Amino acid sequence: MNRAILFLSRFAISLWIVLVVAFLSLLVLNAPSVPRLAPFAGVSIKTPNSSIIHLPNRSFTCTETREQFQCQTKIQNRLLDLSLTKGGDDKYNFSSCRALYDKQAVSCREKGQTYAPIPSKTYEITGLRLSAQQLQAVNQEYWGINALMQLGELGLTLISMGISTVTGIGAASLAWFYPGKFSKAFTSLACGFGIYQFVWGLLGHMLYDRVTPYGFTADRWDWVVNGGAIAAGLGTTLATALLLWGRLNRVTKILGSSSSVGIFYLCWLSVSLSFGYLASLFGLTETFLQNGQMLMWLCVAVSTISAIAAERLLWLHTDESIKHFLCLGSGLGAVALATNFFLSILLSLGYAD
């Protein structure tokens, strides 16, 4: 039985690694890095049937003059040439776009603006004389960027949260079957991360004009916010580790109570984000916004139950209760850490605003 569990665990971990690496590779390889790759976030082709084919900005080769950027790429062995005229003080804020395809003028217009990782424009090309087969070939050549654009910000965020949820389930399962040093260390770090986020959010939302009368400048208060959050996180990590490794005394038990607050905030992050994006997926955003207070109290209730359970399990401090605590802390910690990681990736690469 143990050998079967070990085999399944290794298989699940290997499959998870493959999926995460594939997803991150797809994001990184198609990220619209401006201005390193090109002075715009992307170009799309509008086809006669009104479907859109996206071209990554990495497919363009650009040269800069004082007045404009000249960018070129090949589509079906014919040259697409874009001339972007600079406008104003920002050299990436273009006043006009002109396009030639196979030396014939085609329509080029500004489509929108995105963050990639600076505010950057996107452009749409129409009038290319390409057959349906040629357009399909272009779509297949750049299948990665087109798949990502079709998913959009909501789809990519939901995939990220799905991976995060699977990560949490896997971490909880590993903590249940292997409640050893690794599970204890990870749970301690997760509780510390929860407290860090809690303290940073609590202090960071305080307006500067409320603290300046006490002698704090804006820079000094930012230092207090970051330093206080880091100190609280490290203290909670240490106290939780001491409790999990059996260093029991009144001081560690009192300090370890902060672990339940960390569990509360980890659960809050996971539940509130899940409900928010699931509401967007099923078109219930307006309903949840109108009943925002109900959603908030639901998150508070679920998080409070988790925190109370964590506190009781730590105070009981039996082998069974520690095992349950490790499952709870590892699961919620993995979900929260993975969610923050993927959201940071989406924001930094320009897939989310």
User: What pLDDT, in 10s, does the model give residues 66-77?
Assistant: 888 999 999 999
Considering the domain architecture, whether residues 213 and 161 belong to the same structural domain is answered as yes
Residue 32, domain member (yes or no)? no
Residue 23, domain member (yes or no)? no
Considering the domain architecture, whether residues 185 and 298 belong to the same structural domain is answered as yes
> Which range marks the domain in which residue 273 is found?
152-349
Nearest to 191 by CA among 312, 330, 315: 330
Q: How many domains does the chain have?
A: 2
The mean pLDDT of 323-345, rounded to a whole number, is 92
Considering the domain architecture, whether residues 210 and 131 belong to the same structural domain is answered as no
pLDDT of residue 277: 62
Backbone torsion region of residue 76, taken as left when φ is above 0, otherwise alpha when ψ lies between -120 and 50, otherwise beta? left
Q: Is the distance from CB of 332 to CB of 263 less than 8 angstroms?
A: yes
Q: Is the distance from CB of 281 to CB of 225 less than 8 angstroms?
A: no
Considering the domain architecture, whether residues 316 and 277 belong to the same structural domain is answered as yes
Cα 111 to chain centroid distance, Å, stands at 25
Considering the domain architecture, whether residues 197 and 268 belong to the same structural domain is answered as yes
pLDDT of residue 97: 92
Considering the domain architecture, whether residues 126 and 170 belong to the same structural domain is answered as no
Percent of the chain exceeding pLDDT 90 equals 41
Nearest to 270 by CA among 246, 296, 303: 303
Considering the domain architecture, whether residues 245 and 267 belong to the same structural domain is answered as yes
Q: Is the distance from CB of 322 to CB of 282 less than 8 angstroms?
A: no
pLDDT of residue 86: 86
> Which of 141, 161, 191 finishes a domain?
141
Higher local confidence (pLDDT), 110 or 92: 110
Residue 6, domain member (yes or no)? no
For the sheet with 68-75, list strands across it: 52-56, 42-46, 119-126, 104-115, 94-101, 78-86, 68-75, 61-64
Considering the domain architecture, whether residues 269 and 242 belong to the same structural domain is answered as yes
Percent of the chain exceeding pLDDT 70 equals 90
Give the span between the Cα atoms of 245 and 184, in whole angstroms.
Answer: 8
Give the span between the Cα atoms of 164 and 340, in whole angstroms.
Answer: 9
Residue 34, domain member (yes or no)? no
C-alpha distances (whole Å) from 334 to each of 222, 302, 320, 331 are: 28, 17, 21, 5
> Which of 85, 117, 141 finishes a domain?
141
pTM of the model: 0.83
Q: Is the distance from CB of 50 to CB of 130 less than 8 angstroms?
A: no
Instruction: Write out the two tokens for 304.
Output: 């409070």
The mean pLDDT of 20-48, rounded to a whole number, is 88
Residue 289, domain member (yes or no)? yes
Considering the domain architecture, whether residues 326 and 276 belong to the same structural domain is answered as yes
Residue 1, domain member (yes or no)? no
Cis? peptide before 213, omega within 30° of 0? no
Judge whether residue 36 has pLDDT over 90.
no
What 98-104 contacts at long range (C-beta under 8 Å, 24+ apart), as own/partner pairs, is 99/125, 101/75, 101/125, 101/127, 101/128, 101/129, 102/78, 103/79, 104/129
The mean pLDDT of 14-19, rounded to a whole number, is 91
Considering the domain architecture, whether residues 249 and 297 belong to the same structural domain is answered as yes
> Which of 104, 121, 141 finishes a domain?
141
Considering the domain architecture, whether residues 231 and 105 belong to the same structural domain is answered as no
Judge whether residue 108 has pLDDT over 90.
yes
Phi, psi at 285, each rounded to 5°: -60, -45
Instruction: Write out the two tokens for 11.
Output: 């298989």
The mean pLDDT of 324-343, rounded to a whole number, is 92
Give the span between the Cα atoms of 102 and 117, in whole angstroms.
Answer: 31
Helices and strands, number each (H, E), in the chain: 11, 8
**H helix or E strand, kind and range, residue 324:** helix 319-349
pLDDT tens digits, one per residue of 137-168: 999 999 999 999 999 888 898 899 889 989 99
pLDDT tens digits, one per residue of 266-317: 998 888 777 666 655 555 555 554 555 667 777 888 899 999 999 888 888 8
Mean pLDDT over the full length of the chain: 85
Residue 14, domain member (yes or no)? no
Considering the domain architecture, whether residues 120 and 214 belong to the same structural domain is answered as no
